[in-house]
Amino acid sequence: MSFFSFGQSAEIDVVLNDAETRKKVEHKTEDGKKDKYFLFYDGETVSGKVNVTLKNPGKRLEHHGIKIEFVGQIELYYDRGNHHEFVSLVKDLARPGEITQSQTFDFEFTHVEKPYESYTGQNVKLRYFLRATVIRRLNDITKEMDIVVHTLSTYPELNSSIKMEVGIEDCLHIEFEYNKSKYHLKDVIVGKIYFLLVRIKIKHMEIDIIKRETTGTGPSVYHENDTIAKYEIMDGAPVRGESIPIRLFLAGYDLTPTMRDINKKFSVRYYLNLVLIDEEERRYFKQQEITLWRKGDVVRKSMSHQAAIASQRFEGSAASEMNAPKCISDIPHLMNAFLTLF
């Protein structure tokens, strides 16, 4: 860039006003690495400062305008040329002219709509970023700053369990049940598999979480399946009448909320795949879609309140809401309850 050693060049950078207090989250980049970015929610204001620092103090910088943009866009990897912008805001910071010394410009994008969650996938990327530009005749000076957006949902009003009887006629009949159809990202899948008929020799059973990313429309639709988790729930041969419990903690896996037809460009859906494997390595499976959603962070209540809830839920415990202990260490048997759950 210092080709034009006679002319002036500058560095441009963007700093958020709430950089000290705003939370940062990890987000996967296209090459699989994880980086930290500022976290924003829908409706939040994005404000900060653009610093233009002259490389050669004393020389003036001529420009055709300085601006900052807030962009939300979808990028399909097989169609890199076309970025689909669904949010595009611009603020002019300076009219065409010249700068004689390093300068700072304030900006504010008030209550910006951020309808979708940031997503980096196999064939598609949805990102939000600020882009500050010093427009010049031959080459612009530009700087991009990515941010991450999370979309939050509230507890679904209707969250029915999934219960189904499936099988192969006269060989294998099972009834599977998952306690919910909609799970938040830190939720637990609680379920059971009940064996009605077992005429094959089952060796073990597992439950897989499969993520399916769908891009494209009409004739050219791409599906990318990715097995996020494989969790063995049974080792050995079951017989009729046996129930196998499922308890799968989602917090340990790299999951995103379910995304349906985002801006008519892509979808990300999740499936539970129940797989039974017999002694000859034959696989019998049943796939079931679940909805994943992101819950807002809840401020934790006092530990004693949490202990009361935990003790209530521990099987066989006689503790009731009325007799909530003041402190965990007061009551030894509740201590055990806590250790079992965590």
Partner 1 sequence: MKSDRILTLLEGQGDMAETIADTRRLYTKPQNLNDAYGPPSNFLEIDVSNPETVGVGRGRYTTYEVRLKTNLPIFKLKESSVRRRYSDFEWLRAELERESKVVVPPLPGKALFRQLPFRGDDGIFDDSFIEERRQGLEQFLNKVAGHPLAQNERCLHMFLQDESVDKNYTPSKIRQA
Binding positions for partner 1, rule: CB under 8 A: 155, 168, 170-172, 177, 179, 186-188, 190-192, 194, 197-202, 237, 239-243, 245, 247, 278-280, 282, 298, 300-301, 305-306, 309-310, 313-315, 321-322, 341
- Of 6 and 155, the one with the shorter C-beta distance to partner 1 is 155
CB of 189 to partner 1, least distance (A): 10
- Of 168 and 221, the one with the shorter C-beta distance to partner 1 is 168
> CA angle, corner 14, sides to 133 and 39, nearest 5?
120
CB of 275 to partner 1, least distance (A): 16
- Of 191 and 257, the one with the shorter C-beta distance to partner 1 is 191
CB of 322 to partner 1, least distance (A): 7
Rounded CA-CA distance 106/291 in Å is 41
- Of 131 and 295, the one with the shorter C-beta distance to partner 1 is 295
DSSP code string of 73-111: EEEEGGGTT-EEEEEEEEEEEE-SEEESS-EEEEEEETT
- Closest C-alpha among 234, 242, 9, 40 to residue 141: 9
Rounded CA-CA distance 264/90 in Å is 24
Rounded CA-CA distance 216/78 in Å is 10
Q: If you count DSSP H runs as helices and E runs as strands, how many of each does the chain have, helices first?
A: 2, 22
**How big is the chain by its Cα radius of gyration, in Å?**
27
Cβ count within 10 A of residue 30: 12
Quick one: tokens of 260?
């349906």
CB of 59 to partner 1, least distance (A): 59
CB of 257 to partner 1, least distance (A): 17
- Of 20 and 157, the one with the shorter C-beta distance to partner 1 is 157
CB of 159 to partner 1, least distance (A): 11
- CA torsion, ordered 250, 255, 260, 265, to nearest 10 deg: -170
- Of 78 and 249, the one with the shorter C-beta distance to partner 1 is 249
CB of 226 to partner 1, least distance (A): 25
Do 268 and 119 contact (CB within 8 A), yes or no? yes
- Of 199 and 230, the one with the shorter C-beta distance to partner 1 is 199
Work out the end-to-end distance of the chain between its first and last CA atoms, rounded to an integer number of angstroms: 56
